[in-house]
Amino acid sequence: MEHRLSIPSEPEPQLEVQPERVKSESPPQRNCTQPDGVCHRIDGALRPWRPSSLIRSSYIVHLGAVVASVASPGVWPWAVAAVAVNHLLLTIGGLFPKGSWLGPNLSRLPSAAREEGVVAITLDDGPDPEVTPRVLDLLDRYRVAASFFCVGTRAARYPDIGREIVLRGHAVENHTYHHHRRFALLGPAAIRRELAETQAVLTGLTGCRPRFFRAVAGLRNPFLEPALCRSGLRLVSWTRRGFDTLDPNPRRVAARLTKGLRAGDILVAHDGNSVRTPSGVPVVLEALPRILDSVAEVGLRTARLDALIRDP
């Protein structure tokens, strides 16, 4: 199997990199595109949309409000209030990144991964021309495979980096096309476009079709889950996040991701939009070695999401 090694960049002087301490469960397969040019990674299964309990109750509330208002016009204020409360609950459901009121949401790995002592490292918002190659070098030194939730426009702008992610043995996943701050306010057609355009650009670049989706900041609305079902994608949030787009202190970022770390945790950091330390280094580059050292110290291993989560 071809293993394309990169030339490691000069490490930052303040980084205490201790190579190969973390064993990755990912196979030595460093490229999901085989010599025959075909990606052998299993595509996400298209699945029927099964509305959550809250969505089903929303149908009943709306229908009941209409029927009651027609049958007895005097109750319309109560009907409007019931619909308003329902919409409030739907909104709240989308504001909790780890919540599952609006549909399935993986915030931890399945029990099999937990029993095997595995955690998943995920990186959002790339590819970034400066940070992503250095993150890839770090992961190489630790022999760790990760899942990169890429933004479609950035992957299209930096296609070589997108391909390099897969060539180094990592997975690319879907993190919307435009990374709209107001993604959670989009309608069903716009959400479908965001998913489809990202699937197209990542599949075209890497030969591998993403299986997982992460919403911008984890915020979403009831239109997302039906669109994910149609695209063969599954929503993944996280167990822990480091807030490395906001906090320039690598020690604090790493502590948020590793304090009380348990098997089955999904960790999220950012190779795109990483805030810089006071000395000007993207904080993820100083936090990541601390994180990977901590993973090893508690006897855990890492693996890509697609190696740990099977489609039903």
**Minimum separation from the CB atom of position 258 to Zn ion (A):** 21
- Give buried/exposed letters for 51-90 (b at 16+ CB in 10 A, else e): ebebbeebeebeeebeebbeeeeeeeeebeebbeebeeeb
Q: Which residues contact 188 (CB under 8 A, 6 or more apart)?
A: 223, 226, 227
Task: Give the interface size with Zn ion as a residue count (CB under 5 A).
Answer: 2
Residue of 230, 178, 234, 166 whose CA lies nearest to 202: 166
Mark out the alpha helices in 207-249 (DSSP H runs): 224-231
Asked if residues 220 and 195 have their Cβ atoms less than 8 Å apart, the reply is no
- Which stretch of DSSP H or E encloses residue 301? strand 301-302
Q: Which is nearer to Zn ion, 54 or 151 (CB)?
A: 151
Residue 25 interacts with Zn ion (CB under 5 A): yes or no: no
**How far out from the chain centre does Cα 203 lie?**
17
Q: Which is nearer to Zn ion, 42 or 246 (CB)?
A: 246
One-letter amino acid for residue 250 of the chain: P
Name the residues annotated as catalytic.
124, 270
Residue 177 DSSP one-character state: S
Shortest gap between Cβ of 176 and Zn ion (angstroms)?
Answer: 8
**Cβ distance to Zn ion smaller for residue 52 or 245:** 245
- Contact between 37 and 207 under an 8 Å Cβ cutoff? The reply is yes
Residue 244 near Zn ion by CB under 5 A:
no
**Which pair of structure tokens corresponds to residue 227?**
């669109």
DSSP letter assigned to residue 235: E
Contacting range for Zn ion; rule: CB under 5 A; set: 110-118, 120-128, 163-171, 300-308: 120-128
| DSSP per residue, 20-70 | T-SPB-S-S---SB-TTS-B-SPPPPP------HHHHHHHHHHHHHHHHHH
Nearer to Zn ion by C-beta: 125 or 194?
125
* Per-residue contact string for residues 122-161; x = within reach of Zn ion by CB under 5 A: --xx------------------------------------
The residues of the shown chain that bind Zn ion, judged by CB under 5 A, are 124-125
